[in-house]
Amino acid sequence: MAPITVLHPQVLPMEKVLRDPIHNYIYIQHQVILDLINTKEFQRLRRIKQLGTTSYTFHGAEHSRFSHSVGVYEITRKICDLFQRNYPTQNSNDGLWDDHERLVALCAALLHDVGHGAYSHTFEHIFHTNHEQMTQQIITSPETEVNHVLRQVSDDFPAQVASVIAKTYPNQQVVQMISSQIDADRMDYLLRDSYFTGTKYGNFDLTRILRVMRPYQGGIAFNFSGMHAVEDYIVSRFQMYQQVYFHPVSRSMEVILSSLLKRAKDLYEMDQLPHDFAYETLKPFFDNQFSLKQYLKLDDGVLNTCFSIWSECDDHILKDLARRFLNRKPLKSAKVNDDTRSLLPTLRNLIAEAGFDPYYYAATNDSFDLPYDSYNPSSKKPQTQIELMQTDGSLIELSTVSTLVKAISGKITGDERFFFPREMLAKGNQLEIFTPVYQQFEKYLHNDRLIFPK
């Protein structure tokens, strides 16, 4: 570690550690990293779950964005160590690792998610906030503690860190550590989510992947001998999406949350939302005029407190949805496809007939992901493809040599589901008067899919 001392005067006299279930220890070797972790903006990540509604399906998945963020930092630190040990630059054009880049890489890794809010995905959809913009703002706004710490390094350091996260930083090795198809972010969340959910799908071989990573002129490549380790990572990621991230029960809780926020917003716009703590807290977002400080006040606990207040309010729908969310009463669902999408109006009508406003109690939700793609300049979001380096130094793209990766490369996978109240499936304890409606509704469901009744 002598090289660090030379390059970075901010090195701590004695490294500090955080105990971590995934990486065993997180090693903190720079004062600036320690100070960043101690900022209030970063500590706030302790109060935001990494996986939002997923813990409603996998009760172990209660880990926070804080623990993921320090994990991404730690993987990045390991990559820097490895690069410095095995591939230190000798001259400026050799495409090898320049350890002067270490600090910007570590800070970007640590802060890449610092702008996330509670239940981000759904919240952003309803309120048009954007956690990536907030991350940039927290890093570059002079009012934050994070910015204050970063400026201790140099005046332009906050902008540099922000540009790594925005992928505009010139050194592609640093950018790809944090953002690529096989980056520290994805590697940490797969391992971490797998550990905390208790599923085994995300459990690829991190040590082996780190061993075969190497810098080159164009960014980061992988030694050909590690092809199967990289393949296994891609397959693990694919399986985690299929099994955990796209789980219908978690998505149904998101649907409820979305309806709940929509209902509150609709009431606000009709001036029917009670003027209480929830009102005051969310008003800036209903109005889409909020300060950074107001944004940073929102965490899982504050939002849940709002829902708890609403669970006692007078509006029947808001109250009911808040209770369904807090007390975990998921909706039921079935797959819908291009053929059966035409059935949705009929189904919504039946739901309305059974006494539920389909605007809030029925929804489609699609979850799709591109597990891997080779570089495609014509796509909307061209991906940095994964390159393997052969013995002679030439590069070869992953999917050309892996049967498994080829099978899922470039294919968007997932499903679209139609969500509806569990009450639509008559089980005998609903109102008898609606039994014919329920029976009619069930004719459209078979083997977890919508069908045209015979």
Q: What's the rounded Cα separation, in Å, for the pair 82 and 220?
A: 12
Asked if 22 interacts with a copy of itself (CB under 8 A), we say yes
What contacts 178, CB < 8 A, 6 or more positions away? 72, 76, 105, 108, 109, 112, 164, 165, 184, 185
Residue type at 119? Y
Q: Which of 100, 148, 151, 446 binds a copy of itself (CB under 8 A)?
A: 446
| For a copy of itself, the closer CB: 131 or 228 | 228
Provide the minimum distance between the beta carbon of 240 and a copy of itself in the complex, in angstroms, as a whole number.
10
Q: What's the rounded Cα separation, in Å, for the pair 119 and 56?
A: 13
Would you give the distance in Å from CA 273 to the centre of its chain?
31
Residue 395's nearest CA partner among 275, 249, 218, 246 is 218
Asked if 228 interacts with a copy of itself (CB under 8 A), we say yes
Of 64-72, 99-107, 266-274, 355-363, which part binds a copy of itself (CB under 8 A)? Answer: 64-72
Provide the minimum distance between the beta carbon of 406 and a copy of itself in the complex, in angstroms, as a whole number.
7
Of 94-102, 238-246, 262-270, 314-322, which part binds a copy of itself (CB under 8 A)? Answer: 238-246
Q: Which residues pair with 416 in a beta bridge?
A: 336, 366
Asked if 430 interacts with a copy of itself (CB under 8 A), we say no
Element at 400 (helix H, strand E) = none
**DSSP class of 222:** E
Provide the minimum distance between the beta carbon of 15 and a copy of itself in the complex, in angstroms, as a whole number.
8
Side-chain-side CA neighbours of residue 140 (13 Å): 15
Of 41-49, 94-102, 106-114, 125-133, which part binds a copy of itself (CB under 8 A)? Answer: 41-49
| For a copy of itself, the closer CB: 289 or 391 | 391
| For a copy of itself, the closer CB: 169 or 310 | 310
Q: Which of 12, 34, 343, 404 binds a copy of itself (CB under 8 A)?
A: 404
Number of H helices, E strands in the chain: 22, 11
Q: What's the rounded Cα separation, in Å, for the pair 372 and 254?
A: 26
> Order of strands across the sheet with 213-216?
213-216, 219-223, 387-389, 395-397
The count of residues interacting with a copy of itself (CB under 8 A) is 83
Q: Which of 140, 141, 171, 203 binds a copy of itself (CB under 8 A)?
A: 203
Q: Which of 17, 412, 425, 431 binds a copy of itself (CB under 8 A)?
A: 17
Contact 435, 425 (CB under 8 A): no
Residue 443's nearest CA partner among 430, 453, 431 is 453
Asked if 19 interacts with a copy of itself (CB under 8 A), we say yes
Site for a copy of itself in 67-86 (CB under 8 A): 67, 70, 85-86
| For a copy of itself, the closer CB: 175 or 398 | 398
Asked if 304 interacts with a copy of itself (CB under 8 A), we say yes
Of 95-103, 122-130, 321-329, 337-345, which part binds a copy of itself (CB under 8 A)? Answer: 321-329
Please provide the size of the chain in residues.
Answer: 454
